[in-house]
């Protein structure tokens, strides 16, 4: 019999009933150190007092009114984002997938409104932009995500990640946009090198093609800057955000330059919940906290600390781990054993990690995690790796 919850996930047999900071607790009181943060969502940890306050204050005033009216908190959050990023304008969504849908529509509408027939979008292997029909159509090579869901939305070309020559030869006079994650998340924590980021921008400047960044996972201070592309000095024309912006409340958005957004006039797009007062009260608090230079400095210091510890871990367990990847607190451990085995072994140590493609274990902790908790996570990973080494030794001797 089908479970009452549609069984599209392979869930771990773990259920948490409370959380505080970087720790989660099950019903029976067992504590787990959370290095996944709900897949890069809980940027301030669980039950962050500042966010609980922002949520409860707003919950007593006004939750939802619809975008038929002015929403001062939405205006406030949009102003904060415009002031602190490349963007001139923002549309709020409830998720990354909805941001993907708008990014596609915005890019196509831009060219349409100029009277130019450019509708095609180039994406990259290992990319993940969400699960809507549009977002899966963008990654036709991802067989697990697209098989059986056709016909897919036409107009996407998915090419080898970071191959600039192939990219140049894929561009035609129909190309509307290039769409990329500055740091791939699901694809295995792969930062696009600065030289390629710059080359992408130069190529788009030459051709007029729009550059879309998906910062749903790598954005909102995750890499130690408010948005990951800032490290390269390169800015996009359109950018998706979600995950961290709500700190656990469903919130996302599309940021754009005035030029790129010029086709999106009244009546061309909408969302019932997107940018409602409750979500925006929380988003504004998240941005206020994470965009503080002292907060960002602390993220970078912790990232340096963690990276060094992880390099040590890889050196100690060369049979289990291959290398450390990532930027800031968006870290990956490329594994030599199946990374799912490491995730399981970490569960046994009461440590939560997240698997990714390319056999990479993801570490995406709360950005305000303490150095003690980071060190504890590495201690537990060390024990998890030891248990795998013992198992493989036993398998060999038997
Ligand atoms: C999670 C994710 C999405 C999809 O976001 P949802 O909120 O799950 O719809 C899109 N792009 C990237 C890079 C992501 O990590």
Query: How confident is the model over 326-353, as a mean pLDDT?
Result: 98
Instruction: Say what the pLDDT of residue 47 is.
Output: 98
Q: How confident is the model at residue 174 (pLDDT cuts 50, 70, 90)?
A: very high
237 pocket-lining for ligand 1 (C-beta < 6 Å): no
What is the CA(325)–ligand 1 centre distance, in A? 20
Report the candidate in 5, 238, 229, 227 with the shortest Cα–Cα distance to residue 105. 238
What is the CA(388)–ligand 1 centre distance, in A? 31
Q: 214 among the known binding-site residues?
A: yes
Q: For the chain, what is the radius of gyration of the CA atoms?
A: 21
Query: How confident is the model over 38-47, as a mean pLDDT?
Result: 98
Q: 272 among the known binding-site residues?
A: yes
Q: What is the pTM of this model?
A: 0.98
Can you list the alpha helix ranges (DSSP code H) found in 142-213?
143-146, 164-170, 194-207
| 49-290 fold | 3.40.640
What is the CA(256)–ligand 1 centre distance, in A? 18
96 pocket-lining for ligand 1 (C-beta < 6 Å): yes
216 pocket-lining for ligand 1 (C-beta < 6 Å): yes
Q: Which helix (H) or strand (E) holds 69?
A: none
214 pocket-lining for ligand 1 (C-beta < 6 Å): yes
Instruction: Say what the pLDDT of residue 124 is.
Output: 98
What is the CA(248)–ligand 1 centre distance, in A? 13
Protein residue whose Cα sits closest to atom 6 of ligand 1: 96
Q: Which of 238, 243, 254 to mutate to test the pocket of ligand 1 (most atoms within 8 A of CB)?
A: 243
Phi and psi at 5, nearest 5°, equal -95, 120
Q: How confident is the model at residue 141 (pLDDT cuts 50, 70, 90)?
A: very high
Instruction: Say what the pLDDT of residue 131 is.
Output: 98
What is the CA(215)–ligand 1 centre distance, in A? 9
* % the chain with pLDDT above 70: 100
Q: How far is CA 347 from CA 14, 89, 341, 344, in A?
A: 9, 42, 10, 5
Instruction: Say what the pLDDT of residue 304 is.
Output: 98
Instruction: Say what the pLDDT of residue 271 is.
Output: 97
Q: 98 among the known binding-site residues?
A: no
Instruction: Say what the pLDDT of residue 397 is.
Output: 83
Q: Is 244 a residue whose pLDDT tops 80?
A: yes
Scan for tokens 């990973």, then name that residue.
381
What is the CA(129)–ligand 1 centre distance, in A? 5
The 10s digit of each residue's pLDDT in 361-391 is: 999 999 999 999 999 999 999 999 999 999 8
Q: 222 among the known binding-site residues?
A: no
Query: Cβ–Cβ contacts within 10 Å for residue 123, how many?
Result: 27
Q: Is 398 a residue whose pLDDT tops 80?
A: no
What is the CA(61)–ligand 1 centre distance, in A? 30
Instruction: Say what the pLDDT of residue 392 is.
Output: 85
Task: Report the SS3 class of residue 152.
Answer: coil
Q: 271 among the known binding-site residues?
A: yes
Q: 96 among the known binding-site residues?
A: yes
Protein residue whose Cα sits closest to atom 10 of ligand 1: 129
What class is the 16-42+293-397 domain? alpha beta
What is the CA(242)–ligand 1 centre distance, in A? 7
Cβ atoms of 167 and 197 within 8 Å: the answer is no
Q: How confident is the model at residue 36 (pLDDT cuts 50, 70, 90)?
A: very high
User: Which strands sit side by side in the sheet containing 23-26, from one edge to the other?
Assistant: 16-20, 23-26, 31-34, 351-352
242 pocket-lining for ligand 1 (C-beta < 6 Å): yes
Torsion of CA 190, 222, 298, 379, to 10 degrees: -60
Mean per-residue pLDDT over the chain, rounded: 97
Q: Which of 42, 128, 131 to mutate to test the pocket of ligand 1 (most atoms within 8 A of CB)?
A: 128
Query: How confident is the model over 265-287, as a mean pLDDT?
Result: 98
List all residues 6 or more positions away from 74 whose beta carbon is below 8 Å from its beta carbon.
92, 275, 276, 277, 280
Q: Is 198 a residue whose pLDDT tops 90?
A: yes
Q: How confident is the model at residue 394 (pLDDT cuts 50, 70, 90)?
A: confident
What is the CA(389)–ligand 1 centre distance, in A? 34
Q: 223 among the known binding-site residues?
A: no
Q: How many CA atoms lie within 13 A of 345 on its CB side?
A: 23
Instruction: Say what the pLDDT of residue 113 is.
Output: 98
Cβ atoms of 221 and 288 within 8 Å: the answer is no
Residues composing the chain: 398
Instruction: Say what the pLDDT of residue 393 is.
Output: 85
Q: Which of 97, 220, 253 to mutate to test the pocket of ligand 1 (most atoms within 8 A of CB)?
A: 97
List all residues 6 or more positions away from 155 whose beta carbon is below 8 Å from its beta carbon.
119, 120, 121
The 10s digit of each residue's pLDDT in 82-122 is: 999 999 999 999 999 999 999 999 999 999 999 999 999 99
Query: 239 forms bridges with which residues in the sheet?
Result: 213, 255
215 pocket-lining for ligand 1 (C-beta < 6 Å): no
List all residues 6 or more positions away from 215 whose beta carbon is below 8 Å from its beta carbon.
181, 182, 227, 228, 229, 239, 240, 241
94 pocket-lining for ligand 1 (C-beta < 6 Å): no
The 10s digit of each residue's pLDDT in 221-234 is: 999 999 999 999 99
Segments making up each domain of the chain, as ranges:
16-42+293-397, 49-290
How wide is the angle at C-alpha 315 spanned by C-alphas 312 and 320, nearest 5°? 115
């Amino acid at each position: 019999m089908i479970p009452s919850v549609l069984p599209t996930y392979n869930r771990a047999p773990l259920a948490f009933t409370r959380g505080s900071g970087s720790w989660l607790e099950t019903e029976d009181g067992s504590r787990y150190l959370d290095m996944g943060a709900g897949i890069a969502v809980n940027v301030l940890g669980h039950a962050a007092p500042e966010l609980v306050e922002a949520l409860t204050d707003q919950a007593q005033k006004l939750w939802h009114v619809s975008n038929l009216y002015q929403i001062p908190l939405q205006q406030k959050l949009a102003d904060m984002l415009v002031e602190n990023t490349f963007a001139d304008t923002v549309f709020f969504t409830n998720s990354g997938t909805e941001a993907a849908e708008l990014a596609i529509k915005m890019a196509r509408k831009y060219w349409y409104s100029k009277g130019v027939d450019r509708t095609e979008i180039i994406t990259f292997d290992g990319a993940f932009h969400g699960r809507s029909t549009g977002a899966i159509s963008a990654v036709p090579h991802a067989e697990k995500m697209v098989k059986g869901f056709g016909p897919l939305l036409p107009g996407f070309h998915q090419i080898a990640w970071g191959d600039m020559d192939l990219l140049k030869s894929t561009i035609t006079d129909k190309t509307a946009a290039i769409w990329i994650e500055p740091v791939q998340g699901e694809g295995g924590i792969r930062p696009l090198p600065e030289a390629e980021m710059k080359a992408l921008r130069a190529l788009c400047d030459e051709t007029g093609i729009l550059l879309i960044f998906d910062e749903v996972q790598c954005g909102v201070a995750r890499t130690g800057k408010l948005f990951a592309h800032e490290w390269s000095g390169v800015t996009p024309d359109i950018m998706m955000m979600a995950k961290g912006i709500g700190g656990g409340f469903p919130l996302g958005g599309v940021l754009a330059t005035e030029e790129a957004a010029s086709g999106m006039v009244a009546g061309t797009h909408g969302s019932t919940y997107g940018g409602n007062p409750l979500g925006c009260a929380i988003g504004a608090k998240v941005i206020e906290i994470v965009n503080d230079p002292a907060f960002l400095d602390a993220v970078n210091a912790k990232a340096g600390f963690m990276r060094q510890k992880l390099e040590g871990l890889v050196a100690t367990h060369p049979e289990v781990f291959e290398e450390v990847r990532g930027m800031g607190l968006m870290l990956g451990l490329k594994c030599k054993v199946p990374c799912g085995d490491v995730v399981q072994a970490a569960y046994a140590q009461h440590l939560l990690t997240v698997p990714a493609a390319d056999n990479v274990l993801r570490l995406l902790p709360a950005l305000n995690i303490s150095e003690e908790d980071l060190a504890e996570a590495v201690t537990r990973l060390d024990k998890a790796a030891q248990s795998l080494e013992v198992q493989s030794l036993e398998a060999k001797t038997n």
